Amino acid sequence: MERRARASRAATTAALVAAALTLTLTTACTGGSGGTDRPTPRDDGRAPSRSQSPEERPSQEVLAAAPVLAVKIDNVRAARPQTGTDSADVIYAEQVEGGLSRLMAVYATKLPKVIGPVRSARESDLELLRQFDRPTLAFSGAQGKLMPLIDKAPLDPQVPGTTSGAYFRGTDKPAPHNLYLRPDRLMASPPGASALTNGFTYGDAPSGGTKDTAETVRYPAASFTFDWSSSRSRYLVSMDGTATVTSAGKRLAPATVVVQYVKVRKSAFHDFLGNNTPYTETVGSGTAKVLRGGKAYDVQWRRDKAADGTTFTTADGAPVNFAKGQVWVVFAKAS
């Protein structure tokens, strides 16, 4: 892989912020039927690839030039509370098998000490990530038939065993909901806001809008609720009816929430029970609802090809600015 040599380096000492986590390293990822939320100790990834020797590992200067880090986050009840999600610039929420949800957290301006729990990738992640310039994708693995597509994609796949010391198992949750990432093993420093090439614009709110202080998006077996807090000028996140906090007790509170209505179809992949994996189409156009400042704005979204960012515009074609701070994008099935 073109950027794997850049992304690997020797293990360094990292200070962990979650007291419940241990420093037990995971050096391999077992094969499996892939990508399920079944409480089994087996990972759903591929076998580990060769670790690089010290002379092959890049300098700190090269590492610092890395693009965004995208991490697949487990989002079943057994995986919560999650760690490091409050530091993400963007969090995407998608539907997976059984009507459950999974998150993809994207980091550009800040890297926390630990991120997780980390889970498996899905086919639609590849289309979503094309809008970034060769991102690093951290995930626990994927279905065997999907891994060749991931290896061919213009990204740097990082599964357990790819980079020494990047992953470890915690003792706070049962496997497979206890795999965590040390992001500083993959990049020396965050790449900065310029690496967020997903088309988002930030600035003053558009004119108009309607008062909307609470919004809920439901999947068949999961839900997201965003309640506006005027005192914090943020939306307080609840998932499956429970307030969402990090492992450090911090409430997740994005400044902007986007409910993006997309086509969700069946993919060619299934879980070990035979359940079809949904494919979320993020290239195309449609409607969306942007929440900021306690108001809702009905807008249009457009992304002509996978390498493009996603634009959000008002009825007259003006770009819709987001508020400064974390952005959540929840993909909802278009009616």
Report d(CA 8, CA 200) in Å as an integer.
30
Determine the average pLDDT of the residues in 15-44.
37
Catalogue the E-assigned strands of the chain.
24-25, 69-73, 90-95, 101-107, 136-138, 156-158, 167-169, 179-181, 210-211, 214-219, 222-229, 234-239, 242-243, 256-262, 264-270, 276-280, 284-292, 295-303, 311-313, 327-333
Residue 14, pLDDT score: 39
Q: What is the pLDDT of residues 260-292, one digit of tens each?
A: 999 999 877 666 666 678 999 999 999 999 999
255 — pLDDT class (breaks 50, 70, 90): very high
Burial of residue 14 (number of CB atoms within 10 Å: 0-12, 13-18, 19+): middle
Q: Of 181 and 32, which is predicted with more confidence?
A: 181
User: Does residue 29 have a pLDDT over 70?
Assistant: no
Structure-block tokens of residue 40: 């089994």
The share of the chain scoring above pLDDT 90, in percent, equals 75
Determine the average pLDDT of the residues in 144-167.
95
278, 284 Cβ separation under 8 angstroms: no
Rounded to 5°, the CA angle 30-17-96 comes to 45
Report d(CA 298, CA 292) in Å as an integer.
12
Q: Which amino acid is at 141?
A: G
Report d(CA 131, CA 305) in Å as an integer.
9
Residue 273, pLDDT score: 60
User: Does residue 10 have a pLDDT over 50?
Assistant: no
Backbone angles phi, psi at 132, to 5 degrees: -100, 155
Strands 256-262 and 242-243: unpaired
76, 100 Cβ separation under 8 angstroms: yes
| Number of neighbouring beta carbons within 10 Å of residue 50 | 10
Residue 277, pLDDT score: 83
Residue 57, pLDDT score: 39
81 — pLDDT class (breaks 50, 70, 90): very high
Report d(CA 156, CA 160) in Å as an integer.
13
Q: What is the pLDDT of residues 223-252, one digit of tens each?
A: 999 999 999 999 999 999 999 999 999 999
Backbone angles phi, psi at 239, to 5 degrees: -125, 130
CA 182 to chain centre: 15
Report d(CA 321, CA 246) in Å as an integer.
27
DSSP code, position 52: P
pTM: 0.82
Give the list of residues 6+ apart from residue 53 with CB closer than 8 angstroms, or none: none
Q: Of 270 and 121, which is predicted with more confidence?
A: 121
12 — pLDDT class (breaks 50, 70, 90): very low
Report d(CA 92, CA 258) in Å as an integer.
9
Determine the average pLDDT of the residues in 112-124.
96
Q: Of 46 and 281, which is predicted with more confidence?
A: 281
In total, the chain counts a number of residues equal to 335
Q: Of 154 and 268, which is predicted with more confidence?
A: 154
25 — pLDDT class (breaks 50, 70, 90): very low
Average pLDDT score, the chain: 84
Buried b (16+ CB within 10 A) or exposed e, 208-244: ebeebeebebebeebebbbebeeeeebbbbbbbeeeb
Q: Which strand (E) or helix (H) includes residue 150?
A: helix 147-152
Give the list of residues 6+ apart from residue 231 with CB closer than 8 angstroms, or none: none
Partnered with residue 128 across adjacent β-strands are none
Determine the average pLDDT of the residues in 185-204.
96
